[in-house]
Structure 1
Amino acid sequence: MPRAVTAESWTAGLNAFLLAARFGIGLAISAHGAQQLFGWFGGAGLSETARHFTSIGYPNGNRMAIIAGLGEIVGGLGLAVGVLTLPAAFLAAAILLYTAAIDGGFFTPEGVKYEPLLAVCAVVLGLYGPGRYALGRYIPAIRTYQFSYTQRAVLMTVGLVGVMLAIRR
């Protein structure tokens, strides 16, 4: 006879799911950034990424490639380990959605789907929270997570997109 699901077993399962989802999505986002910066995992590397940003109108493609790559690496790793999960998720999502939008849109035939999918997953995980198994729970300043962090994350994302638009021709 199957056992009844208790609140304790449900919570443990949810926390394990959040850990697995954060880890998988966060590492995928970080790997995407590493492709752009270092050419790892079959990526283009910094020079090709910079050349691409220059070709679509950025006066300093190298700077934009570094901003995009580092943002994805830092945001993805923060999401994966559960440190400042919401700001990390919004940082990564802003960069992913912005680069997807400037690369031809979201829908076929020229559109992209990988970046928006990662961005949506990151935002959902960021809004839900890191769960019990997160490194941020052991850092006292981060443990007192308040709503004001959400406001900061949204402002940071809007600011980041604003900076990206400002440095573009």
Structure 2
Amino acid sequence: MTSQGDDYQTDLLSGVEDSTSNDYDEPRQGGLGFGLLILRLGLGVIMGAHGLQHLFGAFGGPGVGGFAHALEMFGYHKQTTLLSWITGITEVAGGALVIVGLFTPLAAAGLLGVAANIVYAKFHGGFFQGDGRGWEFELLLGLSALALIFTGAGRISLEVNTPWRKRPLPLGIISLLLAAAASVVVIVLTR
């Protein structure tokens, strides 16, 4: 025996099914994977190219020695050659991993750490400076990396079937803490 209220409730729910699909697979989210791919490509190419400049002097860059000298001008006085290598390798490797979408939260954390240190080093120069002393560009790169830490690479990536793609928040928080710790260590040990 059913009451009239039960029949009304059943009528309201008829045609409604529980969704077991992932949010990435929903039609309304169709552009999300493509948007994340564009963000990853932009961040990865820019940071990777800077890393190639810092390591090998590519694209008219300074190479390791010139980058070590530039770091000294920004207030880094200890282990600048080692810091040049670490920064360049982080930019190249992190950029490549972000581009292909593999270990994205960790790779983006490395890129965020580099961007955070640049913002810190340039902070006294002001937000907008035409002579390269402003830090608005590096802030944008860091925010892009921060977004990828918490979103992951998206559907169009090599990590499409990884556990952290389905639950990105725990690895995102760990990655953010790693980026913060690395930035503090670099500042304390090299300035």
Give TM-score, length-normalised by structure 2. 0.74
Task: Check the 8 A contact 2:80/2:190 in 1, yes or no.
Answer: no
Cα distance in 2, alignment partners of residues 155 and 53 from structure 1: 24
Q: 1:102 aligns with which of 121, 136, 154?
A: 121
Task: Check the 8 A contact 2:41/2:99 in 1, yes or no.
Answer: yes
Unmatched runs of 5 consecutive residues or more in structure 1: 1-6
Unmatched runs of 5 consecutive residues or more in structure 2: 1-24
Question: Once the two structures are superposed, what CA deviation does each residue of 1:57-91 show, in whole Å capped at 9, x if it has no partner?
Answer: 32221001111111111222221111111121121
Hey, what does 2:135 align to over in structure 1? Answer: 112
Hey, what does 1:4 align to over in structure 2? Answer: none
Hey, what does 1:136 align to over in structure 2? Answer: 159
1:131 is displaced (CA, Å) by 1.1
Comparing 105-114 with 47-56, greater Cα deviation is found at 105-114
Identity %: 28
Hey, what does 2:64 align to over in structure 1? Answer: 46
Task: Check the 8 A contact 1:100/1:112 in 2, yes or no.
Answer: yes
Q: 1:30 aligns with which of 48, 55, 74?
A: 48
Letter in 2 for 1:116: L
1:97 is displaced (CA, Å) by 2.0
Task: Check the 8 A contact 2:117/2:187 in 1, yes or no.
Answer: no
1:31 is displaced (CA, Å) by 0.9
Letter in 2 for 1:102: A
Does structure 1 residue 12 correspond to structure 2 residue 30?
A: yes
Does structure 1 residue 162 correspond to structure 2 residue 184?
A: yes
**Number of residue pairs matched?**
159
Letter in 1 for 2:86: I
The secondary structure found in structure 2 opposite 1:136 is coil
Instruction: Quickly say closer, same or farther: Cα 1:62–1:83, change in 2 above 3 A.
Output: same
Hey, what does 2:19 align to over in structure 1? Answer: none
Instruction: Quickly say closer, same or farther: Cα 1:123–1:151, change in 2 above 3 A.
Output: closer
Hey, what does 1:76 align to over in structure 2? Answer: 95
Superposed CA RMSD in Å reads: 2.0
Q: 1:67 aligns with which of 68, 79, 86?
A: 86
Hey, what does 2:10 align to over in structure 1? Answer: none
1:38 is displaced (CA, Å) by 1.2
Cα distance in 2, alignment partners of residues 63 and 86 from structure 1: 24
1:133 is displaced (CA, Å) by 0.9
Cα distance in 2, alignment partners of residues 86 and 93 from structure 1: 10
Comparing 12-21 with 66-75, greater Cα deviation is found at 12-21
